[in-house]
Structure 1
Amino acid sequence: MSKGPLPTQIKLHKKSRTLELSYDQQSFELTAEYLRVHSPSAEVRGHGIGNGVLQTGKKLVGIKELVPTGNYALKIVFDDGHDSGLYTWDCLHDLAINHEQYWSKYLKELEAAGASRDGGLIAKG
């Protein structure tokens, strides 16, 4: 069963490429890029601890479609073809309330890998 709160409203803003999640007293806007690089799919998280794959070049990714999955999750179809992650309500709430921490960690991982949000590697001088 879900431990986190259920969103009271979900809005997809295609122009700004954001997903707005509203809860009783709070509202969060999560970019498609943020959701894509933190996808709960095996492609991103890996098939075991420490097997995750750093996602690069997702700065301009958008969301094509939201597909409710039962009463427990949302399938997000991205315009880069990725559609295999099921974002449970717990997962979405966690991504929303921990956005700053997770985004900062992601940017540090990109930098450490010499990679870019735009794709490719960054030349180190």
Structure 2
Amino acid sequence: MPYPTELKLHQKSRKLEVSFDNGETFEMSCEYLRVYSQSAEVTGHGPGQETLQLNKQHVNIDAITPVGNYAVKLHFDDGHDTGLYTWERLYDLGKNQPKYWMDYLRKLLRGGHSHPELDALKAQQTH
């Protein structure tokens, strides 16, 4: 399993850049990390109990706290800070970001929710 060598928070662009010892680097938006938090608030306490996170486009990370040698806790400016992001989880989120992000947008669409990226796609389809 790749191990992170550097975490860089870019608060202005609301992105977290994570570099791993295998040479891979992923840049993930704070929104993406927030909606894929492993906390009970997001995932529930079992299958089918997930809560779709809405309106997190402007969320940012205020602080990052190390948890042992295996994870970090991300402190979001909306008050959320209960999910741990293990190195394995961060790598998975980075590696599968396009797929996971599309899954999230599909869930929003199915639920009848809006998102700037969905609005942009709809606008492209009408032209």
Q: TM-score under structure 1 normalisation?
A: 0.89
Of 34, 38, 41, 2:39 maps to 41
Counterpart residue identity of residue 7, structure 1: P
Match of 1:98 in 2: 96
Structure 2 CA distance for aligned equivalents of residues 81 and 105 of structure 1: 25
Q: CA deviation at 1:6?
A: 1.0
Aligned length: 115
Match of 1:10 in 2: 7
Match of 1:70 in 2: 68
Match of 1:21 in 2: 18
Contact 1:21–1:28 under 8 Å retained in 2: yes
Identical aligned residues as a percent: 53
Q: TM-score under structure 2 normalisation?
A: 0.87
Structure 1 runs (4+) greater than 2 angstroms displaced: none
- Choose between structure 1 and 2 for higher RCO, CA contacts under 8 A separated by at least 6 residues: 1
Listed as ranges, the matches of 1:51-70 within 5 Å are: 51-70=49-68
Contact 1:40–1:87 under 8 Å retained in 2: yes
* Unpaired segments ≥5 residues, structure 1: 119-125
Contact 1:13–1:19 under 8 Å retained in 2: yes
CA RMSD between the two structures? 1.0
Q: CA deviation at 1:5?
A: 1.2
Structure 2 CA distance for aligned equivalents of residues 38 and 8 of structure 1: 22
Q: In the TM superposition, what whole-angstrom CA distance separates every residue of 1:89-115 from its partner, at most 9, and x where no partner exists?
A: 111000000000000000000000011
* Unpaired segments ≥5 residues, structure 2: 117-127
